Amino acid sequence: MNQYVIAIDQGTTSTRAIVFDHTGNIVSSGQMEHEQIFPQAGWVEHNPAEIWNNTREVIGSALSKANLTRHDIAAVGITNQRETAVVWDKTTGEAVYNAIVWQDTRTQDIVNELAQDGGPERFKQKVGLPLATYFSGTKIKWILDNVEGARARAEAGDLVFGNTDSWVLWNLTGGVDGGVHVTDVTNASRTLFMDLDTLQWDEEILGIFGVPVSMMPAIKSSSEVYGTVHTSQLLREVPVAGILGDQQAATFGQAAFQTGEAKNTYGTGCFLIFNTGEEIVHSKNGLLTTVGYKLGDAAPHYALEGSIAVTGSLIQWLRDNLGMISSAPEVETLAASVKDNGGVYIVPAFSGLFAPYWRSDARGAIVGLTRFVNKNHIARAALEATAFQTREVLDAVNADSGVPLTELKVDGGMVANDALMQFQADILGVPVIRPKVVETTALGAAYAAGLAVGFWKDLGELSANWSEDKRWEPQLDQAEADRQLRLWRKAVTKSMDWVD
C-alpha cells in the first residue's frame, strides 16, 4: 500500500510520468514528445490538448510497466515548463489558442511599449523580473489582444490562465466538472504579476497589462494537497500534493535546500539556481529573483536564477535544421574527433540573449570561420557555447553573493555528455558533480508531493537520498581557459544589436 509517489514532468519537448520509491529511486516511467509548432520566425507553440492527452498516456504507461494501481501511489506531484502560457475556457475546457511557449519572442512590441514608461526594469523590485518576452504576462496580454473575442470572454469570467502546471492540475482534478484552478508560488513568480514579498497577485501590474485578476489561478505553496484526481481512473482519488516549476523542482531534487547551495540544469536551455534562503536578493548582475520553494505554511525560500535560453536546443538545431547529426549524442563523437574548436565560437541567441545580458535584439552568430573549419569544429563550438554561457551566469552569481561557489551540482539531458562536462569544469575552474538520479526535476516534484502527505517526513530524509555518481575536476591550464573566455565574450558582442 502507498509505497510510491508519481511525478508528472510536463517539459518543453516531452511529458514524462515517473514513479519513485522511498529512497528516491526510479521504479518506472513513461514519456511522450509533443509537437513543436513554429508558425513563423520567433514563434513557438504547443497544443494544450495534446499535452493533456500525453499526460494521461504517460501516467498509464508508467503505472502499467511496474504493475501498479492507484492503491500503490501515495501522492501526485507536478513539475512543468515554466512561463509557457495557456488560456482556456473553464466552461468548455478548451484552450482559446495554442500554448505560447517560454522561448517565443512575438511579444517584443508589448515589451517595448510597456518599457517606455519606466524602462525594462520598472516592475523588477516587486516581481524580481525584467520586462521580457520570456515571462507569461506578455503572452497572456498577446492572447487577449489578438484572439477574437478573448478579452470580452475573459472579462465575463469564462477564460482562465495557467502555466502548464495549472492546465494539467485543472484537468486532472475534474476539468469542467470542478477542476481546481491553482498554481504554486514558483510558477506564479514567473508571470511578472506576483509580488515576491506578499506572494499575491499584484492588481496594479495586472491592471497595467489589462489582465483581469479573475483569470489568475489561486497561488498556493509548493507542497500541500490541492485536490484529488478525478478524471484519470488510474489515479482516481489520489491527492495531488506538490507543484514546482521545472528549475525549482530540479533544485529541490538535488537537495539544494540550504542558503548558498546551487545547481545547473542542462536541457533545452540551461538554468542555474542559487538558493538565497528566506531573503529576497535583488541581482546587480543580470540574474532574476524568484521563489525557490515554499512548503505548506513555512516561510518561502527565494533564489537567484541565471536563465540561458538556448543550450540543448542548439544541438537539436544541428540535428533538425542542418542535418549535421542524426541524434543528439552524436555531437560528442564529432566534437571529440578534433583537438579544439578551430577558432570557432557560436553564440546561439535564437531568442535574443537571456542572463546575464537580457538583450532581445541579439540573434545567433557563428564567428571565427576560416577555410580550415569543418563540421567537427562546429559541433565542438556548439557544445562549448553551453559551457561559456554557464560560466557567465556563474560569474554573475558569484558577484551577487560575494562568496564564490566551490563546486556545481548538475543535471538534465545534456549531462550525459562527458566531453561537455569536462569542458564545463575546465571553463569554470571548479568541480562539476552529477548525482546518481539525474531526473532531478521529476524527483523534486515527487519530494514536494510526498512531504505534504507524510510519505517523507522532513528535508533531512531527502538529503540522505542524494548521492554522487560522477565528478569532473578542472584540467585545462588557467591561462588557456581565460583566453577562450575572452574570445567567447568578443563573439557575444558580435551577436548584439542585430534586430533592425
Counting contacts by CB under 6 A, is residue 31 touching ligand ADP?
no
Nearer Cβ to ligand ADP, position 86 or 144? Answer: 86
Least distance CB 413 / ligand ADP (angstroms): 2
Q: Which of 80, 275, 283, 313 binds ligand ADP (CB under 6 A)?
A: 313
Three cell numbers, residue 483: 583566453
Exposure of 251 in the CB half-sphere (CA atoms within 13 A): 32
Of 52-60, 95-103, 292-300, 312-320, which segment contacts ligand ADP by CB under 6 A? 312-320
Counting contacts by CB under 6 A, is residue 336 touching ligand ADP?
no
Q: Which of 105, 187, 268, 307 binds ligand ADP (CB under 6 A)?
A: 268
Annotate 187-256 with DSSP letters as a single string.
HHTTSS-B-TTT-SB-HHHHHHHT--GGGSPEEE-SEEEEEE--S-GGGTTPEEEEEEEHHHHHHHHTT-
Q: Which of 414, 432, 446, 452 binds ligand ADP (CB under 6 A)?
A: 414
Counting contacts by CB under 6 A, is residue 253 touching ligand ADP?
no
Of 17-25, 309-317, 364-372, 487-495, which segment contacts ligand ADP by CB under 6 A? 309-317
Counting contacts by CB under 6 A, is residue 13 touching ligand ADP?
yes
Least distance CB 440 / ligand ADP (angstroms): 10
**Alpha-carbon distances, residue 48 vs 124, 249, 318, 333, 355 (angstroms):** 30, 22, 27, 36, 28
Q: Rounded to whole angstroms, how far apart are CA atoms 10 and 270?
A: 17
Nearest CA among 243, 249, 250 for reference residue 227: 243
Q: Rounded to whole angstroms, how far apart are CA atoms 5 and 85?
A: 27
Of 40-48, 248-256, 287-295, 412-420, which segment contacts ligand ADP by CB under 6 A? 412-420
Q: Rounded to whole angstroms, how far apart are CA atoms 495 and 352?
A: 9
Phi and psi at residue 408, to the nearest 5°: -130, 120
Least distance CB 412 / ligand ADP (angstroms): 4
Nearer Cβ to ligand ADP, position 79 or 484? Answer: 79
**Alpha-carbon distances, residue 248 vs 158, 222, 235, 334 (angstroms):** 31, 10, 25, 33
Least distance CB 128 / ligand ADP (angstroms): 22
Q: Which of 412, 435, 444, 450 binds ligand ADP (CB under 6 A)?
A: 412
Nearer Cβ to ligand ADP, position 328 or 430? Answer: 328
Least distance CB 405 / ligand ADP (angstroms): 22
Counting contacts by CB under 6 A, is residue 444 touching ligand ADP?
no
Nearer Cβ to ligand ADP, position 196 or 324? Answer: 324
Q: Strands 408-411, 365-367: parallel, antiparallel or unpaired by DSSP?
A: unpaired
Nearer Cβ to ligand ADP, position 317 or 498? Answer: 317
Counting contacts by CB under 6 A, is residue 32 touching ligand ADP?
no
Q: Which of residues 314-333 bind ligand ADP (CB under 6 A)?
A: 315-316, 328-329, 331-332
Least distance CB 416 / ligand ADP (angstroms): 5
b/e sequence 129-167, b meaning 16+ C-beta within 10 Å: bbbbbbbbbbbbbbbbeeeeebbebbeeebbbbbbbbbb
Q: Which of 312, 348, 435, 450 binds ligand ADP (CB under 6 A)?
A: 312
Q: Rounded to whole angstroms, how far apart are CA atoms 224 and 243?
A: 9
3-state secondary structure of 265: strand
Q: Rounded to whole angstroms, how far apart are CA atoms 16 and 40?
A: 28
Site string for ligand ADP, 132-171 (x = CB under 6 A): ----------------------------------------
Q: Rounded to whole angstroms, how far apart are CA atoms 444 and 171?
A: 22
Question: Which residues are near ligand ADP by CB under 6 A?
Answer: 11-13, 267-268, 312-313, 315-316, 328-329, 331-332, 412-414, 416-417
